[in-house]
Amino acid sequence: MSRLCIGFEVHQPFRLNPDFSSSNGTDSLESAYFSPLNREILERVADKCYIPATSAILENLDKGFKCAFSISGTLAEQLEKWRPDALDLFRQAAAHKNAEMIAQTYFHSVASLFDLGEFEEQVRLHKKMLKSTFGATPKVMENTEFIFNDHIARSAKKLGFKAIYTEGVERVLGWRSPDYVYSCNGIKLLMRNYQLSDDVAFRFNNREWDQYPLMADKFASWAAASPGDYVNVFVDYETFGEHHWSDSGILEFLRWLPKECMDRGIEFITPSQAAEIPARDELSVEETISWADVEKDASAWLGNTIQHTALKAIQRARAYAKDKKMWRYLQTSDHFYYMASKFGSCADVHNYFSPDACKPYDSFANYMRIVSDYERLAAQKMKKKAAAMELRTVPPEEAFQFYTSSAYTGFTAYSLDDLCDLLNYVPKDSVEHHLRNKDLSRWVQDVLGDEALAGQMDACKNRLELAEVAAKKRDALWKSLR
């Protein structure tokens, strides 16, 4: 008998306010930083997807259908605020013996890409939310967008989970099939069959696809014919009614799939039941993989310079994180996803998921303005206010751009940290150009407010001396904040 394990990623971010410029600190940070469209989007998705899709699933759970939900903390908050009727349906599903709730990072964040300790804390926060909101104790987890490597496996094992999800990437599997259970660093590994998953998530409504239209009976026959111990299908829940509208037939597909599968002898299993299947092999995943884009790596969030700059900024912002929850909201993967600059089909997907097809640099600039404002407000309340203000991230309008005598180099410093790093590899003629014109010292004095450091930089004769005096001051300032 074939076995089918179906899981749903259920997530909405708190999208950032695209018109943000500066806050005065009197309003809540949420009202200043988050888009007023968040409620409108949530209401639409609830009506088009969450309510009809979950209602269809509830009808089938009593008939032997089984599935799993991974609901982010940011979505649970929005449902509680704006659509408790949709939240109640998820609670009904969570209470059913045939549905399972999966843990993830509460903020659907990229924390695992820069701090496993922070990642683990956010998973713990999500576990608490699942218990308090849904009465569920998760046994299986997935990291944001299936981001995974050996270190994340160790963390999942440390957190007490039976299994963790990731993508069935060929360069990791080699000759192996994703339709078996594996193990990695002492924890079971459930690998998504992305071919079958993407048939539903991406190709369902593609009239140029040679298998269009995809009906429930056809998909069930494919699943039944798949060799292996089980088939793992995992998709964005918004596939059902939001990404593919109801007139495409997607909700009818979801409603009839359980019957068509059972008619073909397919048994539905939960992720916990899949984790009981003996591991076929031990895998080592040294590189970071995910389910995103054709590369299936971390490039959806760290594929260009502005994404790396933004990630460094939010890492530094930990020192300002008296309001740790807001700091964590700013780690949500979607913010970095909107900054991606890809081509071809990957660009089409990123554009679809980005608010109003927002351009990557616009998303980045807006993000940096908000991080800068967050740090500025926090710095004003810190004991070492002057040091905190000098180390803060500055908004794009105040950042230092490195030029040669004729052109922009592409390098920009948004903080003293950035300046220290860039001085080590910005083109020599650019550094010499700014040294001659005293541009660097003027920026340090006028924007960062450090007259003493500006004087020291004016006395420097070359790149090495500039880098030394800047790094020495930077290190002293960070030490004073600890």
Catalytic residue (one of 118, 120, 145, 167):
145
Question: Known catalytic residue: 118?
Answer: no
SS3 annotation, the chain = CCEEEEEEEECCCCCECCCCCCCCCCCCHHHHHECCCHHHHHHHHHHHHHHHHHHHHHHHHCCCCCEEEEECHHHHHHHHHHCHHHHHHHHHHHHCCCEEECECCCCCECHHHCCHHHHHHHHHHHHHHHHHHHCCCCCEEECHHHCECHHHHHHHHHCCCCEEEEECCHHHHCCCCCCCCEEECCEEEEEECHHHHHHHHCCCCCCCCCCCCCCHHHHHHHHHHCCCCCEEEEEEHHHECCCECHHHCHHHHHHHHHHHHHHCCCEECCHHHHCCCCCCCECCCCCCECCCCCCCCCHHHHCCHHHHHHHHHHHHHHHHCCCHHHHHHCCEHHHHHCCCCCCHHHHHHHHHHCHHHCCHHHHHHHHHHHHHHHHHHHHCCCCCHHHHHHHCCCCHHHCEEEECCCCEEEEEECCHHHHHHHCCCCCHHHHHHHHHHCHHHHHHHHCCCCHHHHHHHHCCCCHHHHHHHHHHHHHHHHHHHC
Catalytic residue numbers, as ranges: 145
